Structure 1
Amino acid sequence: MSESPSRIDVTNPGTGELLGQVPDLSEEQVITIVANAGSGQRAVAAMPAHARAELLLDVASRIEAARDELARLLAAENGKPLGQTQGEVDAAIRIFRGCAAEATRIFGRQIPLDAVPGLEAHLAVTVREPLGVVAAIVPFNYPVELYAHKAAAAIAAGNAVVVQPPSRCPLSLVRIDEMFAAAGAPRYAHQLVTGGVRVSQLLAELPGIAAVTLTGSTTAGREIARRGAATFKKVLLELGGNDALIVCDDADVDKAAEAVVLGRLARGNGQICCAVKRVYVHEGIHDRFVESLLAQTAKLSVGDQLLPSTDVGPLIAESAAVAVEAAVGRLVADGATLAAGGSRDGAFFTPTVLVDVPTQSPALAEEIFGPVAPIARFSDIADAVRMANESPYGLQAAVFTSDITRAFQVAKRLDVGGVVINGSTALRAENLPFGGTKETGGYREGIHETVTDLTRQKTMVVMGAFA
């Protein structure tokens, strides 16, 4: 990607091919877009719930009709293998349809005032109303899916949405924005703002934005929260992760190794916030686990993300691969042994397995955003849980064991937002609450949760209703 004062070039990270351009918006242009969004929000709020649902269903059908085109465009601009981008577009379709259903079941409550002496004759009810204009800041790793979580939920709840696509791979969302217009969405109800960090900062600062929802790094989340505080806007953050996978001595070794391959090395090119980023293996099965992991890793194909045979494509940019290379170098310098991979070619980074990783290595505490699996040993499950919890992040974790009692005991003690038993941490179903503790942000995103969070409660009291 290269930038000019007014345009951003979007390229294939593997080949450098120019795929398109988007505007690099000025502050004045962003301010105008946000101001216009106010009228769009009033129009969306005036739509009955069934009409908002119909709009989202219409867009979902248009995405479905263009599914293969969108998946290919997303693979080209993002670097993920084509089969995975097809799955991402499918997820977005389900999210739009799920949010359409949620639009028709945004419930209030009747609160019994006879719980308070002297108020027995009165009636209280609550209703949920839209917040206003929602800013959705979308990351590069799963842009179509995570955009859907934010934008579809915002519209379902009666808000307008201003979307900032990732600057390195915005073209798929530009295409979906056109679908909103074709579906007859109210003018200014759904708008894109393309550009860099200053655009994100403006979305957090401008008083015309009622809420900001961000998926991104902890550093970015902290800055957006700080800037949003000045106008008391609602800030919803789903941030970084350094997910641990614990393999107990009674685990199915091959399935645990497969979870690392599929949940770290061969999904999203390792660029997933909930990927398996640290593996703690009981010393009694360590060697068998590593043997299985290396055998499975050797079968992975690295190359052109548009070929069906490719398992791992290029990272989002060469600079991202350089950062991964440096992180692997720090682990090796701290005493880890490189068992597989570790080489870089431009934006490509070969799937990498590191063994004998020192658990106190500062590099192990980092969130490495690429296809790297660091393996450390443990002898006591309590130590494994302690090491997993020592991370400043708390997104998800996983435990492999054939003892269901042990599995739930470990799950309860892990300070994370979600625990997967006998599976990879890289699991996200759109109807589940997803998010974490500590520096992961504390928010939970999901079809029901996000629609609800993008509304506010109003209480209405009818005096003497039961007099």
Structure 2
Amino acid sequence: MLKERLKKNLFINGEWRTAENYSPLYSPYSGEFIAEVPAATIEEVELALQSAYAARKTMASMPSHQRATILENLVKLLEQRSEEAAQIIAMEAAKPLSTARGEVARTIQTYKFSAEEAKRIHGETIPVDAAPGGEGKIAYTVREPIGVVAAITPFNFPMNLVAHKVGPAIASGNTVILKPARQTPLSAYFLAELLQEAGLPAGALNVVTGSGSTIGEKLVTDERVQKVSFTGSPEVGIGIRNKAGLKRVTLELGSNAAVIIDRDADIDKIIPRCVSGAFGFQGQVCISLQRVYVHEDIYTTFVEKFVAATQKLVLGDPLDTATDVSALISPQDVQRSLDWIEEAKQQGAKIVTGGKAEGNILFPTVLLNVDSTMKVSCQEVFAPIVLINPFSSVEEAIELVNNSRYGLQAGIYTMNIHTAFDAAQQLHVGGVIINDIPTFRLDHMPYGGVKESGTGREGIKYAIEEMTEQKLIVFNRN
């Protein structure tokens, strides 16, 4: 299936352009060669910038129904080629095929929402005569596209997180320079192919792959770029924020997401959800369940059942539909994870399952007695590692959740409505999920965090607000 795309070219100004340099792409699972991928130079990034900047007027003047139609066409094409899309994700990211299919389904929904929201971008009338001096005047606002959007995306959702940037950008009449993760470029080039077929004007989407420092530095500092939308590590995100000047910046920077299990929770019902939240795509999800705090009355039972369910997970080839957990994205991440597990063990944590690796597959790992200062607790593990600790009161559990540099999403299972409202009010995160895991996300909801989890919000409607400028118009009829 991928034989035809063994060598990819840059996508600039609606054309597939041979790059000056290429680098090999290997499977995270097998280590096999997948493709040759462009490693863009500064000069090639400059061509993409020129292309996007020149096309911005075409996109800004395009009627919203035409932008919606392009996105609707994209949805149809993606539906027709959904299995191919899932195979690409599974191949380049080692995402289990069943999970990859789920990502493609979500990607289709994201572009559907984008097509719908393209028709709902509007302003409001202002009652100017509410203030003295406003008599005989009419005022209203409109929203206009911001211009060129730089989208810098991670490996873990190579289609859907791209969709969360490209979809609203096109819907609102902007142009895009997309810099995907080095390990997952094929999904981005696949998107470019589909959008070209869907009727997107030349220059409206440009895809450049290669060094994050080289490409990112150019995009973040160039005055033609009006907005940077970045998903990745806090260290890189903070650097972007510091260099971006007056550009709009949206940062989604990760988390060590936690769930609170109150004493009245139905353990048998919630165990499958918690295991899925902890180990889906090997824990390489921004809101992957990393910390579980369980009321002491049900702690032992919860741990026993969670471990039993974890040990039933199937490890193996991402292209096998039976596989639940496959390889981490790189050998370096496997070693880092093992180091963190060993550090926790040396400091008194107990490994009740996992804690080892075969090849690039890290076995799903459950840790007990984990202190909040250990890396597996206070940093983002981005691996199939979860800690389970007891608490005696929900107030204590909320403090444990909030004791973090991150604040993306958190969950709580409780049958007490007052406890639920207290948690909703007191948890210092961007989203509180009642009676579900913090990993729950629908693609039209506002999504983003506080503290080192980032700034700004994704979710199509909310992203469009950040990709458009509000303009005030006043008519004096006196």
Is 1:22 the equivalent of 2:37?
yes
Whether the 8 Å CA contact 1:262–1:424 is kept in 2: the answer is: no
Shift of 1:5: 8.2
Matches within 5 A, 1:265-284: 265=279, 267-284=280-297
Shift of 1:423: 1.3
Which piece of structure 1 moves more, 444-453 or 254-263?
A: 254-263
The residue that corresponds to 2:9 in the other structure is none
Distance (whole Å) between structure 2 residues aligned to residue 242 and residue 424 of structure 1: 13
Shift of 1:429: 0.2
CA deviation profile, 1:407-429 (whole Å, cap 9, x unmatched): 22122110011111221111110
The residue that corresponds to 1:441 in the other structure is 454
Give structure 1 stretches of 5+ with no counterpart: none
Distance (whole Å) between structure 2 residues aligned to residue 323 and residue 373 of structure 1: 15
Change (3 A) 1:334 1:5: farther
CA deviation profile, 1:303-335 (whole Å, cap 9, x unmatched): 001001100011111111111111111211221
**Aligned amino acid, residue 35 of structure 2:** G
Shift of 1:448: 0.8
The residue that corresponds to 1:103 in the other structure is 118
TM-score scaled to structure 2, two decimals? 0.94
Shift of 1:360: 4.1
The residue that corresponds to 1:86 in the other structure is 101
Distance (whole Å) between structure 2 residues aligned to residue 206 and residue 218 of structure 1: 21
Distance (whole Å) between structure 2 residues aligned to residue 183 and residue 455 of structure 1: 23
The residue that corresponds to 2:361 in the other structure is 348
122, 126, 135: which one pairs with 2:141? 126
Is 1:337 the equivalent of 2:350?
yes
The residue that corresponds to 1:206 in the other structure is 222
**Aligned amino acid, residue 264 of structure 2:** D
Matches within 5 A, 1:44-443: 44-197=59-212, 198-229=214-245, 232-265=246-279, 267-443=280-456
**Aligned amino acid, residue 101 of structure 2:** Q
The residue that corresponds to 2:13 in the other structure is none
Distance (whole Å) between structure 2 residues aligned to residue 425 and residue 251 of structure 1: 16
Q: CA RMSD in A?
A: 1.3
Aligned positions, number: 459
43, 49, 60: which one pairs with 2:58? 43
Change (3 A) 1:80 1:379: same
TM-score scaled to structure 1, two decimals? 0.96
Shift of 1:355: 1.1
Counterpart of 1:62 in 2: which secondary structure? helix
Distance (whole Å) between structure 1 residues aligned to residue 308 and residue 268 of structure 2: 10
**Aligned amino acid, residue 201 of structure 1:** E
Shift of 1:347: 1.5
Whether the 8 Å CA contact 1:314–1:347 is kept in 2: the answer is: yes
CA deviation profile, 1:369-396 (whole Å, cap 9, x unmatched): 1111111121122111111101010001
CA deviation profile, 1:59-106 (whole Å, cap 9, x unmatched): 111111110011011101101100111111111111111111111110
Percent identity between the two aligned chains: 39
Give structure 2 stretches of 5+ with no counterpart: 1-18
Distance (whole Å) between structure 1 residues aligned to residue 389 and residue 395 of structure 2: 15
Whether the 8 Å CA contact 1:243–1:395 is kept in 2: the answer is: yes
Counterpart of 2:371 in 1: which secondary structure? coil
Shift of 1:258: 2.3
CA deviation profile, 1:22-76 (whole Å, cap 9, x unmatched): 1100111101211111121111112111101001111111111110011011101
The residue that corresponds to 2:3 in the other structure is none
Distance (whole Å) between structure 2 residues aligned to residue 436 and residue 254 of structure 1: 30
